[in-house]
Chains A and B, each alone.
Chain A
Amino acid sequence: MLRAVLRGSRLCPALLRAPFSAAAASPIPAPNPRPDIAFNKIFINNEWHDAVSKKTFPSINPATGEVICQVAEGDKADVDKAVKAAKAAFQLGSPWRRMDASHRGKLLNRLADLIERDRAYLAALETLDNGKPYAISYLVDLDMVVKCLRYFAGWSDKFHGKTIPLDGDFFCYTRHEPVGVCGQIIPWNFPLLMQAWKLGPALATGNVVVMKVAEQTPLSALYVANLIKEAGFPPGVVNIIPGYGPTAGAAISSHMDIDKVAFTGSTEVGHLIQKAAAESNLKRVTLELGGKSPNIIMSDADMDWAVDQAHFALFFNQGQCCCAGSRTYVQEDIYNEFVERSVEKAKARVVGNPFDFKTEQGPQVDEEQFKKILGYISTGQREGAKLLCGGNPAADRGYFIQPTVFGDVQDNMTIAREEIFGPVMQILKFKTIEEVIERANDSKYGLAAAVFTKDLDKANFVSQSLRAGTVWINCYDVFGAQAPFGGYKASGNGRELGEYGLEAYVEVKNVSSPGSNPLEQLQIVFVPLLWAGLRTGAKL
C-alpha cells in the first residue's frame, strides 16, 4: 500500500525519504474517517474555556461541505485572558523562567513523542478538517511536525550568547533572552505543521505563546494543546484561541501587551499585521506570506524529472502552498514537449475522497477559496491563456477542482501575477537565461524559486541571481527543519526554521561591567572622549 501511494502520488522523494524512521518501515495504519472530536474550546492556562461571548462557529469538512462540530469563537476578550495567562507564566521567577534550557528541550521532545503516539488520529483529524489526502497527512505533515519539534528541542540549550572583547578593561557578554509574549497567527493549509514551526522556536528559546489557529482548521491544533498539557508545559506557556482574523487576529496584532507577532498567511493580511504592530506597541513582526514562485526549466534538464517536479511543485496540497511553483518557465526548444507531458500528468491526477489511499488530490479548503480559484480560471481564459485541461469543479459536492493547466501564459496576465492557491498550473516560454532571470524576478513576491539544469554554471548563476528566500536546484519543495525558510520582498519578513529561525524569538542583551577598578575605567573611557570633544570644539 505504501509503495502504491508513493508511486501514485509521485511525491517529491525528498519529502518522503526516511529510510530509518519507523514510519517508512511500517505501513500507514488504516484511517478512521470519523475521528472523535475531543477538544473544541479555547485553551488558556492548560484549561478549556468557552468564549467570553459564548459564541461558537462551525468547522466544516471541505470534502462534503458538512459541519464537523461547533468550536468556541475567540475574540478580543479571550485574547486578553490568554495574554494575561501568558504574562503570568513569563513573570520573573516563574517555573518557566527558572527552568533549565535543557529541560525546555526535554518537554519539546516529549511533545514530539506524544504526537508520534497519536500520529494516526492526528492525521485523520487533519484530513477531515483540511481535506488533504490522509496518506499525505500521515507521511508528510506528521513526519515533519515530529522532526521540527525534535529539531528545536535540540536548540533549546545551544543558542549561544557571546563574550565580546570590548575596548577598555571591561567584561562584556550577550545573553539571548526570550522576547516574551508571542502572538502567533497560523494558516489552514498545513495546520499542524505551521503550529510546530511556530511553537518549536518560540518555546525552545523560552517564550510564552498566544496562538490563533485558522477558523477553517482549528481541530488538530486544539488536540495538540491537550498534548502540550500532557507533556508537562507549565500553565500559560501555550494558549490557543480558535477564531477569525478581523476579531481575534486583530486583537493579537494590536495588543499592547504582546511583545512579538508571527504571522503566516496572505500578503494582504500581512500588511494589516505590520500596520497594527506599528500603531500599537511596535511589537516585533515576522511574516511568512504569499508567493508566485518561478520554476525555471532549462532545455538541458532531465525532462522526466523536471515534468514530474514541476507538477508536484504546483499541485502538491491541492495547490495550496505559499511556495507553489506557479510560474513554470520552460525554455523554448523543449516547451511543446514539456507542456504536452505536463497536461498528460495533470489529467492522470486522481481527485476524490481524501481518506481513499488512491487519492492524490482532495478538496480545496472552503467555499471562498473554491470560488476564488474558479474566478481566476475564467480570468485566465478571458485574458487569452490557453486552457489545456481541467478548469471546472470536479464533483457535485465538496470543494473539488479539476487539475488545470494553462499554456501560452504571458507575464502580464492576472494568473501569472497573482497567487491563485489552487490546482492551476501556468506554463510560460523563455529563450535566454538573462531574459528568464529578469522575468522571474519581476514580481512583488520572493518566497521560492527553482531551476532545473544539468549545467553547473547555469545552476550557480541562476540560483545566485534569483531574488527568493529559497532556491531549489533540480528539486522542489525540499523542506527540513534544518533549512531556513522565508521571503524576499512582499513574501515576508524574517526567516523560520534553522538556526536563523531562532533569531526572531530572542532579544539580545549586552552586559558590560568593569573588569577591575571602576574609577580607572571612567578615565579610560571618558578622557579620550573629552579630548575628542575639545578637538572638534564641541561642548561637553
Chain B
Amino acid sequence: MKKQGSDGNPAPVMPALPEPLKDLKIKYTKIFINNEWHDSVHGKKFAVFNPATEEKICEVEEGDKPDVDKAVKAARKAFELGSTWRTMDASERGRLLNKLADLVERDRLILATMETIDGGKLFSTAYLMDLGACIKTLRYCAGWADKIHGRTVPMDGNFFTFTRHEPIGVCGQIIPWNFPLVMFIWKIAPALCCGNTVVVKPAEQTPLSALYMGSLIKEAGFPPGVVNIVPGFGPTAGAAISHHMDIDKVAFTGSTEVGKLIKEAAGKSNLKRVTLELGGKSPNIIFADADLDAAVEFAHIGLFYHQGQCCIAGSRIFVEEPIYDEFVRRSIERAKKYTLGDPLKPGVQQGPQIDKEQYEKILELIESGKKEGAKLECGGGPWGDKGYFIQPTVFSNVTDDMRIAKEEIFGPVQQIMKFKTIDEVIKRANNTTYGLAAAVFTKDIDKALTFAAALQAGTVWVNCYSALSAQCPFGGFKMSGNGREMGEYGLHEYTEVKTVTIKIPQKNS
C-alpha cells in the first residue's frame, strides 16, 4: 500500500505546462446564434477587464431580451421534430461531443491564457485543472449519449409499457465567472448528450472563453441553433431567460440571492424546470486523530484555491480542541507562504479577485470579522497598487454567530473555529442555510461514517477536500441549490420521462 500523496497513477493526468501565449488575440466578441456571429439588437456593447491590471481587454456585444428571443427561436427551430439534431443517432451526439473535446485539447493553450487574462485565474491552474476538467467532462458526457436507457415496465393488465428518456427542449443556462469554461462545459455537455438545445448566458465578467467555445462548437459540426451563446448581464439577459415562455428549463450556477430570483421567475412564467447550484458555507471538520499535515494542507487549499472564489470553499473550519492551537499556527504559516501577482507569471500562487465589487465586499467582511471580535492572525487588507488583490487572511477564535462564519465571503479569508464533542460539531456544522459540501478529517472509520451520514451536504469528503470529477454528482442540500450536476444523476435534469402504454391482445411474461 502506498501512502497517500505518492500516487503514481499511470494515466498521464498532467501534461507539461507550457508558457502562456504572449499575443493572445480576441477573435470572438459577438453573440453566437445559429452558428453565426451577431451584433446585439440594441447595438450596445460592454467592456471586459483584466482583473490583474484593471485594464480593458476588449468590448463585447451586450445581449438583452431581443437577443435572447432570437437565440430561443434558433434553439426552438433546431429542436423541431424531424430536424437534423432530433433525427441524429445518440451515438453521433456522443461523437460530436468527443470531437469538441479534441478541439478544446487542440486549443488548450489559447483557452487557458484567455481564462487567465479574463478571470484572473493562475495560468497553471487554468491550463492543468480547468482545461483538464473541461476535456474530461466532455468525454464523460459523450460516452453517456447512447446509454441513457428507458425501461420496459411490467404493468398490470394487457398492456405493453415502456419509457423513453426524451430531451426537455430548449434549455436556458446561466453560468458564473469563477470557473467560466468548466461551468460552460458542465452545463452544455449533459444538455447536449441528452439531445437538448441550449441558450447560454456567460457571466459579464468572463464572456471570452465561452464565446471562443462557440467557434469550436461550430467547427465540431453541431447543427446551427443547437448551442447559442448570449453574453450579457443578469438583470437583463439573465432575467429574459428565466422569464422566457419558450424556454423549457433553466439551469443556473451563482449566488443564492439570484437563485431565488430565477426560481421565482420560472414560477411566474411557464413553470420551466429549474436546477440551481448556489452558494455555500461548507464546514470542514478536523479531529485530533487526523493526519495533521494533510488536514492543514487540504483545509488550506479547500479555502484558498482560486482566491477563495469557490462555491465549495471550506469556509468554516472546525478544529478539535486538543489540536486547535497547533492547527491555527500551521495554517497561518501556510497562508503566509503565498506569492501574489500577475497570474500569467510562473511562481505566482494567488491572483486577483474577479472585480471591484467582489473585492470591496470581501474587504468589508474582513472588517466585520475584526469588529465582531475574531482574531486576525494574518493578512486582512489589499495587496499591490493595481488589480483586485487581497492578502491571504486567517481568522482564529471565530464564533458561529459572526458574519464571517455565516455569510459566503468568496475570497481568501479562512475562518478557524474550535469544537469539543462530536454531537456539538455535527449540530454546528449543519446549523446553516447552506448545504453544498462538507469534509471530515479523521483516521477513525466510525467517526468517518458517522459524519458521512450526519452532515447535511450534497458532497462529503473524508480525509480530502475539493475532490471533484465528472463521474460524481454535485449539488446542494437546502439553499445551496436544487438538483445535481454531473454523474448519471446529472442527466436526469436534462430529460423528460415519457411513459408509452400500448394495448396488447394478451400478455405473456
On A, residues with C-beta under 8 Å from B are 18-21, 93, 95-96, 98-103, 105-106, 109, 147, 150-151, 153-158, 160, 171, 234, 456-457, 460-461, 464-465, 480-482, 499, 513-518
User: Given A155-B143, A499-B147 in contact, is the A513-B508 Cβ separation under 8 Å?
Assistant: no
> Do A150 and B508 have beta carbons less than 8 Å apart?
no
Q: How far is the CA of A100 from the CA of B140 in the complex (A)?
A: 13
Among candidates B136, B471, B508, residue contacting A158 with C-beta atoms closer than 8 Å: B471
Among candidates A100, A103, A151, residue contacting B146 with C-beta atoms closer than 8 Å: A151
> Do B147 and A154 have beta carbons less than 8 Å apart?
yes
7 contacts between A and B (CB under 8 A): A98-B9, A100-B9, A154-B147, A158-B488, A456-B502, A460-B505, A482-B90
How far does the Cβ of A151 sit from chain B's closest Cβ, in whole Å? 7
> Do B471 and A157 have beta carbons less than 8 Å apart?
yes
Please provide the 10 A-B residue pairs with the shortest distance between their CB atoms, ordered closest to farther. A154-B143, A103-B11, A95-B10, A460-B504, A20-B92, A100-B11, A515-B449, A457-B505, A464-B508, A482-B146
Q: How far is the CA of A105 from the CA of B488 in the complex (A)?
A: 16
Question: What chain A residues lie within 8 Å of B8 (beta carbons)?
Answer: 98
> Do A457 and B504 have beta carbons less than 8 Å apart?
yes
Question: What chain B residues lie within 8 Å of A147 (beta carbons)?
Answer: 91
Chain A residue nearest in CB terms to B93:
A20
Among candidates A100, A151, A515, residue contacting B450 with C-beta atoms closer than 8 Å: A515
Question: What chain B residues lie within 8 Å of A514 (beta carbons)?
Answer: 446, 449
Question: What chain A residues lie within 8 Å of B91 (beta carbons)?
Answer: 147, 150-151, 480-482
How far does the Cβ of B189 sit from chain A's closest Cβ, in whole Å? 13
Instruction: Say whether B160 faces chain A, with CB atoms less than 8 Å apart.
Output: yes
Chain B residue nearest in CB terms to A465:
B508
How far does the Cβ of B142 sit from chain A's closest Cβ, in whole Å? 7
On B, residues with C-beta under 8 Å from A are 2, 8-11, 13, 87-92, 94-95, 98, 136, 139-140, 142-147, 149, 160, 221, 445-446, 449-450, 452-453, 469-471, 488, 502, 504-508
How far does the Cβ of A176 sit from chain B's closest Cβ, in whole Å? 13
Chain B residue nearest in CB terms to A464:
B508
Among candidates A150, A154, A171, A518, residue contacting B144 with C-beta atoms closer than 8 Å: A154
> Do B471 and A513 have beta carbons less than 8 Å apart?
no
> Do B508 and A102 have beta carbons less than 8 Å apart?
no
How far does the Cβ of A232 sit from chain B's closest Cβ, in whole Å? 9
How far does the Cβ of B138 sit from chain A's closest Cβ, in whole Å? 12
Chain B residue nearest in CB terms to A105:
B143
Question: What chain A residues lie within 8 Å of B445 (beta carbons)?
Answer: 513
Chain A residue nearest in CB terms to B1:
A93
> Do A157 and B140 have beta carbons less than 8 Å apart?
yes
Question: What chain B residues lie within 8 Å of A106 (beta carbons)?
Answer: 11, 139
Q: How far is the CA of A256 from the CA of B506 in the complex (A)?
A: 49
> Do A154 and B142 have beta carbons less than 8 Å apart?
yes
Question: What chain A residues lie within 8 Å of B504 (beta carbons)?
Answer: 457, 460-461, 464
Question: What chain A residues lie within 8 Å of B10 (beta carbons)?
Answer: 95-96, 98-99, 103, 234
User: Given A99-B11, A150-B94, A516-B450 in contact, is the A160-B139 Cβ separation under 8 Å?
Assistant: no
Question: What chain A residues lie within 8 Å of B449 (beta carbons)?
Answer: 171, 513-516
How far does the Cβ of A112 sit from chain B's closest Cβ, in whole Å? 10
Question: What chain B residues lie within 8 Å of A109 (beta carbons)?
Answer: 98, 139
Chain B residue nearest in CB terms to A20:
B92
Chain A residue nearest in CB terms to B447:
A516
Among candidates B89, B140, B446, residue contacting A102 with C-beta atoms closer than 8 Å: B140
> Do B502 and A21 have beta carbons less than 8 Å apart?
no
Chain B residue nearest in CB terms to A437:
B508
Chain A residue nearest in CB terms to B142:
A154
> Do A499 and B502 have beta carbons less than 8 Å apart?
no
> Do A153 and B143 have beta carbons less than 8 Å apart?
yes
> Do B149 and A499 have beta carbons less than 8 Å apart?
yes
> Do B471 and A102 have beta carbons less than 8 Å apart?
yes
> Do B147 and A158 have beta carbons less than 8 Å apart?
yes
Question: What chain B residues lie within 8 Å of A19 (beta carbons)?
Answer: 87-88, 92
Q: How far is the CA of A464 from the CA of B162 in the complex (A)?
A: 14
Q: How far is the CA of A98 from the CA of B13 in the complex (A)?
A: 13
Chain A residue nearest in CB terms to B508:
A464
> Do B92 and A21 have beta carbons less than 8 Å apart?
yes
